Amino acid sequence: MAKGKQGPHQNPFYRKRPGKDQEVITYPIRLNKFVAKSGLCSRRRAAELIKEGKVSLNGKVVLEPYIMVQENDLVEHEGKRLLPETRLVYLLMNKPKGVITTTADEKDRRTVLDLVKEKESLRLFPVGRLDRNTTGLLLITNDGDLAKKLAHPSHEVKKEYAVTLDRPLSEQHFKLIESEVTLEDGPVPVKTISFPDEEDRLNVQVSLVLGRNRIVRRLFEHLGYEVVRLDRIYYAGLTKKNLPRGRYRHLTAREVIMLKHFS
């Protein structure tokens, strides 16, 4: 091999044949998309970073998100080289209580990524949020495009929660939630509300497609109840079956296809 030339396995952009966990990068590619593919942030945030002058192409700061990147170009964010993720990872976690849903915490509290072995080699991030005291299903991935689409309200991704209240839910409030409660930031259209056991009105199951901050807790607090326990038991067709609290698993190829169908 001639000196100075890269063999296929030394070229970080080389793709011999895409496997089930690989993504083919097609060049030329828009700069904002390239940055997003690196796992740094979403495509929208990538465009903002570029316009803020924080991204350079071949040593020069560029302000145009849609400029085209060629295969051997050097893209950097604040002096650090960016390379597109070629291994897409999709993890389903049964989040335990007391863990923060973020990639890092300024108070050095335990985060969901502290439970993930793959975090050192991949830029993983949680899709959406569960507050510190909420348990249950959480998707963790490095597929920024899928994450953005699943979080967008237009796709109406269904989420179901098991809720334990501090006192029995009255029939009046049950019907009010069914008909639609309006909070300070807008109405809360609940898809379904039910009692797993009709004799036990402390435990309620609620499904909805909204993704607003602490929406389930705020819904019941608005009606004068305290949520003692909140557990997400269903997310976008995925359940907690055979997934113990605090553990995670890789999604199957069929499950990944199902999730992408939502988008």
* DSSP secondary structure string for all residues of 17-33: S--TTB-PPPSSEEHHH
**Residue (of 114, 88, 91, 90) closest to 101 by Cα position:** 114
Of how many residues is the chain composed? Answer: 263
Alpha carbon distance 131, 83 (integer Å): 32
Q: Which residues are catalytic?
A: 131
- 57 contacts 75 by C-beta, under 8 angstroms: yes
Alpha carbon distance 55, 78 (integer Å): 6
- 125 contacts 103 by C-beta, under 8 angstroms: yes
Alpha carbon distance 13, 5 (integer Å): 14
Two structure tokens written together for 132: 């510190």
- 135 contacts 94 by C-beta, under 8 angstroms: yes
N-term to C-term CA, the chain: 45
Other C-beta atoms closer than 10 Å to the C-beta of 134 total: 21
The continuous run of DSSP H or E covering 51 comes out as helix 43-51
